[in-house]
Structure 1
C-alpha cells in the first residue's frame, strides 16, 4: 500500500464520517490575542515590585549618605545666598575728596576724583564736575572719601537747610585770637560790651544767641565770597534769624563784641 500523508488520511476520514452522518467539525481553541504593549503600560505594578524599588532606593541612599547630605547642604546654602543677596542697584558717579582737606582750603580739580555709588548713597546736591569746585573755599573740613556739597563750601550754600529768613551775619570780634576756639556748626551767644572811659563801668548784654557759626577767619583762606574784602582778621560769620540779624548789624560800632560758647 502506497504511503499516504497525514492530511490525506484525515480528509478521507472526514468524508467517510460525513457520509455516515456522524461527523462534526472539531472545536478549535481560539487563538490568544497578541501581546499589546499599550495595555501593559497601564497595568498596576506588582506590590512586590514596588517594595523592591523602595528597598533599592533606600540601599542607594544609605551607601551614599555623605554625598546626599553634602548635596542637601549645597542646595540650602544656595537658597540662603539667593535670599540674602540684595538686588543690584543702579549706580551714579559723584565726586569725593582724594585726601583730607582742612577748613579754608582753596579747592582745585585735582583734589577730587569720581567714584560710582548706589543711588541710595548719592547726595542730591553732590557735584559731578571737578571744574565746578575749582577756586571755591571749604567752610568745614572734608575727609578723604567724603562727598562735597554746597553746604560745605564758603558762600550762601552754608545756609542750606536753615529756616526761611535766616541771614549770614559777619561779626568782628574784639579778641581775634579767640576765634581759634570756634568751628563751623558750633553754637555761640554774641555779647556786646559798651564802650566807655576807664572810669565808667561797662555794661554787657547778650545781643543774640544761640546762633550757629558758619565760618571764621581762623580757617584761613579769603573771605571775599562773604564780605568782598581781604581784611578778615577776627571775623566770624553766624546764621541769625531776622530779629537777631537786626540786633547784630552794626553792633561792632556800639562797643566790643565777644562770644560765649553754648552747648547744643
Structure 2
C-alpha cells in the first residue's frame, strides 16, 4: 500500500514539474520567410532558378531590400559573392540597390580604364582615385590630374556577364563602375574622351 502511495506521489510530482516547465518556457518567436543563397555563388553570376532558397528567420533579421520571392532577382547579376545561407538584398545585385548606403545624391558612373588588365586588381568595395592623363608621347606633353578621390568601386568587368542596366549590350572590357558625388560625376562624365583614365587604390580614411 505504501509502495503504491509513493508511486502515485512521484507521478503527481512529475506532472506538476512538467506543467511548471511548460508555463515557464517562452512561446516560440514568430518567424517570416526570407531568401538566402542556396549555395556559394560567385560575383558576376546571373541569378538562375534554384540559386535562392526560402528560410525562416525572426522578423527583425530580414534586412531592407530583401526580395519578396525566389524569382525576384532571377536574371540579375550578382555584384558580390554570396556564401551559402547568406541573406540576399538588392544591394548585392547590379542596379540602383548598389548605391545603398552611399551619401544622398550619389550616382553610379561607368569608366573605361586605359589599361584594361589593371581592372583585375580592383574589387567592388575598394576605394580608388581616378586619374586622367592627357597628351601623348609624341606631339603633346603629358599631364595628370585627379578627377575624383576615394570613390568606391561598385562593379568591374572582371566579374563577367552583363554590366547591368547602365551598360546593357555595351563592350565592357576595361570598365569599372564607381559611386560618385554630383561634382565628381560632372568631372568624370566623358573623361575618357579627354585622355587616358587610370585608377590608384587608396585606403579608407580613419573615422
Structure possessing the higher radius of gyration over alpha carbons: 1
SS in 2 for 1:120: helix
The alpha carbon displacement at 1:162 in A equals 1.6
Q: Does 1:221 align with 2:145?
A: no
**Structure 1 stretches (4+) deviating beyond 2 angstroms?**
85-88, 195-201
Contact kept in structure 1, 2:94 and 2:164, CA below 8 Å: no
Aligned to 1:133: 73
SS in 2 for 1:226: coil
Q: Number of aligned residue pairs: give it.
A: 185
1:158 aligned to which of 95, 98, 101: 98
Which structure 2 segments of 5+ residues have no match?
1-12
Q: Does 1:90 align with 2:23?
A: no
SS in 2 for 1:246: helix
Q: Does 1:173 align with 2:113?
A: yes
Q: Which moved more, 1:125-134 or 1:231-240?
A: 125-134
Larger relative contact order (C-alpha < 8 A, sep ≥ 6)? 2
TM-score, normalised by the number of residues in structure 2: 0.83
State the superposition RMSD in angstroms: 1.9
Which structure 1 segments of 5+ residues have no match?
1-70
- Rounded to whole Å, the distance in 2 between the matches of 1:103 and 1:224 is 13
TM-score, normalised by the number of residues in structure 1: 0.66
Question: Deviations for 1:61-97, whole angstroms, at most 9, x for unmatched residues?
Answer: xxxxxxxxxx9xxx8xx88xx5xx7653210001111
2:186 aligned to which of 226, 246, 249: 246
Compare the two structures and name the one with the higher helix fraction. 1
